[in-house]
Amino acid sequence: MEKEILIYDTTLRDGTQGEQISFSAEEKLRIAKRLAELGIHYVEGGWPGSNPRDIRFFQLAKNLRLEHTSITAFGSTRRPGTTPKQDTNLEALLEAETQSVTIFGKSWDLHVTAILGISLKENLSMISDSIAYLKSMGKDVFYDAEHFFDGYKANREYCLETIRAALSGGADSIVLCDTNGGSMVGKIKTIVEEVRSLFPDITLGIHAHNDCGLAVANSLAAIEAGATIVHGTINGYGERCGNADLTAIIPNLILKMGRRCIDGSKLTLLTEVSRYVSDIANIPPLNERPFVGRSAFAHKGGVHVSAILKKPLAYEHIEPGVVGNKRRVLVSDLSGKSNIDYKANEMGISLGGNGYGSREIVKEIKRMEDLGYQFDTAEGSLELLIKKTTGQFEEPFSLLFLRVINEKDRNGQTNSQATIKISVGKEEEITAAEGNGPVNAIDNALRKALQKFYPAVSEMRLVDFKVRVLEGSAGTAAKVRVLIESRDGKDIWNTVGVSENIIEASWQALVDSIYFKLNKETMR
């Protein structure tokens, strides 16, 4: 029976070396708990010898009670010319009070002689006696063979000597690192197979970086070659181009390779964990990320949608819910009747028998997208369009008058004022408001006018506003597309407007946003 693959997460250490990523000690603790819920075997918390934040994390982590997950501290071999007991980094590892520790050492002779400036023999001693010291203190020791694959290609015999040095010190496992991320899949597999044949009884791991876009592939190839520990980060965060992405590795291991790693029932948490870490990192989720991305199971072409309505397997390699994701059908000028039938059903809109109206809706969408509208990113406007086309929507208010004034004084200070008059049924309302720009002023004035009739508008707010020039060669007369994202306490929705006039395009998107909110309220 094949061995279980142990998942070693280094999001909290290697992941934080990526640009724009920084976690507080408390945030690290929260992420560690979510990783434990997912069933990750080892969570590398950081390098306690390098900064106060990681020291604080390990102090907080001492109170964690994780049933199946081990928090691991990371550090380096001792410094040249000293003893392990005198080395402050090794002492910091011990003070972290984790049962398992990971230390890295040099495998590539280039790093030993040209970077550290020491003898090859001294490097071997640094590896072996550092590990021996940690073992004497009762620790489980992972040894990360840094730059192993580059070292193996440059000086195979010395590279293997570093492994022997680690084993002589008592290392519990050897993790082979493609630190520069420059190795090809075939080479990774060949080298791991060679190391496995030379050291048949040791526990081997793989730690791959993504500089060639191959970190996941290299990790899976190493597992096929005999590695039973795989390092990675959630969402592939990490230095330069990142690390191997565990949100791809884990489902590939379980669903594609039939290998045991985390409990298969925990796979449904994968998308949630991916987005949770993304939120804390304050980095927008990558829509195209395999398995967990918003677009991973999104279908736009009419032929594709027609097929998945009959048999999802036709265009989906797994059922989305297995990894906690969901299927999405998009609507655009590439759509067919099947897209509309699916979306209408999803939105709870009746098209009548045999999809009555869907062909007319497709025709209208194609016409409007030719004008510059984009409905795959504005599903709020799409829902309104479907209801308008099928006679299932009645406008809750009408615009009678709108004036916007922008002023700029000699000091560069700007001010926008909007005056608006609307009608609701037989009643009319006129009001004015200021804003930090014309769209903000219009938004404020419209809400102010509507609150008398529809108090629910006070629950919603505009959270994103994007403007795109559709044809730049026309200069200031070019068409613009405005996309607005709005939310209330329960939902998020997107709306779109298109015009040569940016105020008009903004008005269209803004009104659709409010129409959508009010229509949603009447259906509850």
Nearest to 17 by CA among 258, 241, 316: 241
Tokens of 210: 């993504």
> Residue 435 burial (CB < 10 Å; 0-12/13-18/19+)?
middle
- Amino acid 472: pLDDT: 57
Sequence-ordered strand ranges (E) for 223-271: 229-232
Phi, psi for residue 376 in degrees, rounded to 5: -70, -15
The answer to pTM > 0.85 is: no
- pLDDT, mean of residues 100-104: 97
Nearest to 50 by CA among 66, 73, 71: 73
Sequence-ordered strand ranges (E) for 209-332: 229-232, 298-299, 328-329
Is residue 333 predicted with pLDDT exceeding 80?
no
> What is the identity of the amino acid at 330?
L
pLDDT confidence band for 476 (50 / 70 / 90): low
**CATH class given for the domain over 298-389:** mainly alpha
Q: What is the DSSP letter of 5?
A: P
> What is the identity of the amino acid at 457?
V
Bridge partner residues of 56 (DSSP): none
- Per cent of the chain over pLDDT 70 is 96
- Per cent of the chain over pLDDT 90 is 68
Nearest to 181 by CA among 205, 156, 146, 143: 146
**No. of H helices and E strands in the chain?**
17, 16
- pLDDT, mean of residues 68-77: 96
**CATH class given for the domain over 6-262:** alpha beta
- Amino acid 170: pLDDT: 98
For the ranges 251-265, 358-372, 424-438, the one whose mean pLDDT is highest: 251-265
pLDDT confidence band for 181 (50 / 70 / 90): very high
Is residue 331 predicted with pLDDT exceeding 80?
no
SS3 119: coil
pLDDT confidence band for 386 (50 / 70 / 90): confident
pLDDT in tens, 223-238: 999 999 999 999 999 9
> Residue 22 burial (CB < 10 Å; 0-12/13-18/19+)?
exposed
pLDDT in tens, 129-147: 999 999 999 999 999 999 9
List the chain domain ranges: 6-262, 298-389, 397-453
How far apart, in whole angstroms, are the C-alpha atoms of residue 192 and residue 227?
7
For 397-453, the fitting CATH number among 3.30.160, 1.10.3470, 3.30.70, 3.40.50 is: 3.30.160
- pLDDT, mean of residues 24-37: 96
pLDDT in tens, 188-215: 999 999 999 999 999 999 999 999 999 9
Is residue 356 predicted with pLDDT exceeding 70?
no
- pLDDT, mean of residues 64-73: 93
If you average pLDDT over every residue of the chain, what do you get? 91
How far apart, in whole angstroms, are the C-alpha atoms of residue 524 and residue 519?
9
Bridge partner residues of 331 (DSSP): none
pLDDT confidence band for 354 (50 / 70 / 90): very low
Is residue 516 predicted with pLDDT exceeding 70?
yes
- Amino acid 211: pLDDT: 98
Please report how the helices 185-198 and 215-224 are oriented relative to each other, as an axis angle in degrees rounded to 10. Answer: 30
Is residue 473 predicted with pLDDT exceeding 60?
no
- pLDDT, mean of residues 422-437: 92
